[in-house]
Structure 1
Amino acid sequence: MSSTQHTETISPLSPSPHRAIVRLEEIYKIYGSGNTEVRALDGVSIEVFPGEYCAIMGPSGSGKSTAMNVIGCLDRPTDGRYYLDGVDVAGLSESHLASVRNQKLGFVFQQFHLLPQMTALENVMLPMVYGGVSHQERLDRATDALTRVGLGNRLHNKPAQLSGGQQQRVAIARAIVNQPVLLLADEPTGALDSHTTEEVMGIFAELNASGITIVMVTHEAEVARLTQRVIWFRDGQVVHDRLHPEELHLAIS
């Protein structure tokens, strides 16, 4: 089936508890060839189900960031199949991938990536512009999302008027405003102090408790211990698929 025939399959669906939100099947990501070949991902298979809260961990160069980029439809695998909420996305066109990212995924990064000239409310409204949402609905949903992360009294502040933790809360509100099936967080506490990290992780816990599926890349054991499941990478492969956070010492040692 050509990519032009996938349009209807990427409309938002209610996740089935029996169907994986993320299913990677023998995913390879290879750079270079011959003596210079690097297998950033070497036959990775992962399933994440609705409502799970997972941390992806591993040493530098283990493949965890590459895996996150594939899961987030920011990079294409060299080989293998990737099903996101039941949709085979590996062969979709760039325009369809953009639609998938907008409809099904929410992103939170270490750097907040807020537009400095816009207020918190305007930053959170922005993803809905591309979805054709009416102005009033954008306003209502953005206000609700900011209130949900504790910033209902900061709607009209610009990023420079907010602390680092508050800016990350705006970024989280922006990530959830389109009601994604999966929230992806890449080192979301990397630029925060320990107290603010605790506050932000509390928000992630509340979002997960409300039913949002979360996959988070982190190098911090203290952060991973606040999730429910750890996926540990080494040398481009998954060496622990369902490690309980209390068993982290088994992977680190």
Structure 2
Amino acid sequence: MPNTISITDSLVPNPAPKSAIIRLENIFKIYGSGETEVKALNDVNLVINEGEYCSIMGPSGSGKSTAMNIIGCLDRPTTGHYYLDNVDVAQMQDAQLASIRNTKLGFVFQQFHLLAQLTALENVMLPMVYAGVNPTERRDRAAEALTKVGLANRINNKPTQLSGGQQQRVAIARAIVNRPVVLLADEPTGALDSRTTQEVLDIFTELNSSGITVVMVTHEPEVARQTHRIVWFRDGQVVHSHLTPEDLTHLTT
């Protein structure tokens, strides 16, 4: 497969059910060659529909993080097609991928990645600076996003003045402020205690109820059970694509 793709070709929508917001087709991710070759992803096929609340699980080395990096346009597959919002982004150039990440995807990580010198409001405004949103609209949308996550009274606080749960709420507000089509969360509760974990998961549930597609990588069964669908990876492949929370109970016991 060629390493480049023209802008014209990459932006031609591929015919597909309109509800499929994420579509991985025959995805391979290969590191090394010959005797050192490792297939981090081995012919992965996966569809996530618009409005789903989905978690991705699997043991260490199963390929779940590699799949998440590809879904998040942080990495490219070696071969295969990845359709995001009906556009094949698998072999886009770096500048194109950066634009896709900023306009169509929101990211929440285990570590909050907030800038300590900025207030909550200013941290949430940052993605809109890169998107070219005017200053007045940036401030209004950032305040609205912080209100959605229950931090209307904390907009002028800096990260050091916030608890871990509040910092994660700021990170969620920052992830949704550009109105992404998909919210990606990579172990978003890994640094939180159980009570704060539930508060953060309640926010994800509310966002999903408002229509945002949420895809979460987690190693915690109790977190995955709060999503509607669980995808299980093993040895670089999807071995279960539509587990229910009840199915997960049997799989992990």
Return the TM-score normalized by structure 1: 0.94
Matching residue of 2:38: 38
Does residue 3 of the first structure (1) align with residue 6 of the second (2)? yes
SS at structure 2 position matched to 1:59: coil
Residue equivalent to 1:48? 48
Q: Against the structure 1 CA distance between its residues 9 and 124, is the aligned structure 2 distance closer, same or farther, given a 3 Å change threshold?
A: farther
Q: How much identity, in percent, do the aligned residues show?
A: 70
Instruction: Quote the offset at 1:252 in angstroms.
Output: 2.8
The one-letter amino acid paired with 1:177 is V
Residues 1-253 of structure 1 aligned to structure 2 (within 5 Å): 2-5=5-8, 18-252=18-252
Deviation of the 1:6 alpha carbon:
5.9
The Cα of 1:2 is off from its aligned counterpart by 4.4
Gaps (5+ residues) in structure 1?
11-15
| 1:48 alignment partner, SS class | strand
Secondary structure (helix, strand or coil) at the match of 1:178 reads coil
How many Å separate the matches in 1 of 2:12 and 2:193? 42
Partner Cα separation in structure 2 for residue 65 and residue 96 of structure 1: 22
Cα distance in 2 between the residues matched to 1:116 and 1:9: 41
2:159 partner letter: P
Q: Helix, strand or coil for the counterpart of 2:152?
A: coil
**Per-residue deviation, 1:251:** 3.2
Deviation at 1:19, TM superposition (A): 3.0
Superposed displacement of residue 87, structure 1: 0.8
Contact 2:230 2:242 in 1 (8 A): yes
Deviation (angstroms), 1:145: 0.1
**Counterpart Cα distance in 2 of 1:252 and 1:151:** 36
SS of match in other structure, 2:154: coil
- Contact 1:44/1:237 (8 A) holds in 2: yes
Shift of 1:249: 3.2
* Secondary structure of the structure 2 residue equivalent to 1:100: helix
SS of the aligned residue for 1:188 comes to coil
Give the SS at the match of 2:155: coil
Which letter does structure 2 place at the counterpart of 1:114? L
Note closer, same or farther for the CA distance 1:9–1:162 as it changes in structure 2 (3 Å cut): farther
Displacement of 1:5: 2.5
Measured after TM superposition, the shift of residue 18 of structure 1 is: 3.3
The 8 Å contact of residues 10 and 88 in structure 2, kept in 1 or not, is answered as: no
Q: Note the residue ranges of structure 2 that are not aligned, 5 or more in a row.
A: none
Please give the alpha-carbon distance, in whole angstroms, between the structure 2 residues aligned to 1:4 and 1:59.
Answer: 37
State the SS of the aligned residue for 1:96. helix
Instruction: Measure, in 2, the Cα distance between the counterparts of 1:18 and 1:98.
Output: 24
Task: Say which SS state the counterpart of residue 98 (structure 1) adopts.
Answer: helix
Separation (CA, whole Å) in 2 of partners of 1:2 and 1:58: 32
User: Tell me, what secondary structure is at the counterpart of 1:153?
Assistant: helix
Are the aligned partners of 1:7 and 1:96 in contact in 2 as well (CA < 8 Å)? no
Matched-pair contact (CA < 8 Å) for 2:10–2:89: no
Could you tell me how far apart the structure 1 residues matched to 2:21 and 2:56 are? 16
Superposed CA RMSD: 1.6
